[in-house]
């Protein structure tokens, strides 16, 4: 998958699952079959699902993840601990060469390689209010030249981070907004260009009842016009064109 294709498709992604599938394909095409997306600060803002902090999403080996957290490695992992201090993408190997890792940290890095996480790359993502996320990549069979891939991985990580934020906000909005069956029904017909009188005739209810349901939908969607309510409802997957 070309980076331009990933950008286009991730901008159109309508779910976390579809975005993660795109990320896995794009990373694999660059020679890295493993990736992890971590929120190093304010983890609760992200759609973490079943993952323990700082992990938000990943496809790391399940055995390694279980072993990692059982041993409390999230509190000692040099990739996680040092990433907030690093501005640009880095090779995991440089942490060993340039920083004084203690014996436990050196063992962690060795064990990660043994678990199939080789030639790792970290891409720190620094937000405007001190927030730091991290996208990290690894190759199960090793990567012949991980260094030259750093610019591409930086673009991939930044685009993924931006798309994840957009999709995540939409997912949170969908969970907050619950339209009744009749509200969705009325709004669906509004999207088709029908007037309240038309909708009442179609549904067999009065025009005032239609207006009642549409007004309720506008309030729930925080919209001051029917057009804006329709746009938001489509964006959140509550109705469709």
Q: What one-character-per-residue DSSP string does 123-181 give?
A: EEEE-TTS-EEEEEEEETT--S-TGGGHHHHHHHHHHHHHHHHHHHHHHHHHHH----H
DSSP state of 72: T
pLDDT tens for the 241 residues of the chain, in order: 888 999 999 988 888 889 999 999 999 999 999 999 999 987 655 655 567 778 889 999 999 999 999 999 999 999 999 999 999 999 999 998 889 899 999 999 999 999 999 999 999 999 877 889 999 999 999 999 999 999 999 999 999 998 888 887 766 666 677 899 999 999 999 999 999 999 999 999 999 999 999 999 998 888 888 988 898 888 778 888 7
In a domain, 240, yes or no: no
Asked which of 123, 157, 174 is the last residue of a domain, the reply is 174
pLDDT for res 175: 63
Which of 174, 203, 223 is the last residue in one of the domains? 174
For residue 151, is it within any domain? yes
At residue 222, the pLDDT reads 81
Shared domain for 19 and 79, answered yes or no, is: yes
Structural domain harbouring 212: 178-235
**Lateral strand order in the sheet of 90-91:** 55-58, 34-39, 132-139, 118-126, 90-91
Count of the separate structural domains present in the chain: 2
pTM above 0.75, yes or no: no
218 lies in the same domain as 195: yes
Domain annotation covers residue 35? yes
In this predicted structure, what is the pLDDT of residue 173? 64
**64/7 same-domain check:** yes
pLDDT of residue 213: 94
**Which pLDDT value is given to residue 33?**
97
């Amino acid at each position: 998958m070309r980076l331009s294709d990933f950008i286009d498709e991730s901008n159109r992604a309508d779910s976390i699952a579809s975005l993660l599938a795109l990320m896995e394909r794009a990373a694999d095409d660059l020679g890295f079959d493993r990736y992890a997306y971590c929120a190093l600060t304010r983890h609760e803002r992200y759609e973490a699902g079943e993952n323990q902090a700082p992990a938000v999403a990943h496809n790391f080996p399940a055995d390694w993840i279980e072993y990692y957290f059982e041993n409390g490695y999230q509190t000692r992992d040099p990739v996680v601990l040092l990433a907030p201090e690093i501005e640009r993408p880095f090779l995991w190997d440089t942490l060993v060469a340039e920083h004084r890792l203690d014996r436990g940290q050196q063992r962690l890095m060795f064990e990660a390689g043994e678990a199939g996480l080789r030639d790792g790359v970290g891409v720190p993502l620094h937000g405007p209010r001190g927030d730091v996320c991290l996208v990290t990549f690894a190759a199960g069979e090793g990567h012949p030249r991980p260094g030259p891939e750093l610019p591409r991985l930086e673009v991939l990580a930044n685009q993924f981070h931006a798309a994840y934020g957009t999709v995540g906000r939409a997912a949170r909005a969908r969970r907050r907004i619950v339209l009744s069956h009749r509200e969705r029904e009325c709004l669906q017909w509004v999207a088709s260009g029908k007037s309240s009188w038309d909708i009442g005739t179609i549904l067999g209810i009065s025009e005032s009842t239609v207006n009642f349901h549409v007004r309720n939908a506008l309030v729930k969607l925080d919209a001051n016009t029917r057009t804006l309510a329709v746009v938001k409802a489509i964006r959140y997957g509550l109705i469709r064109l």
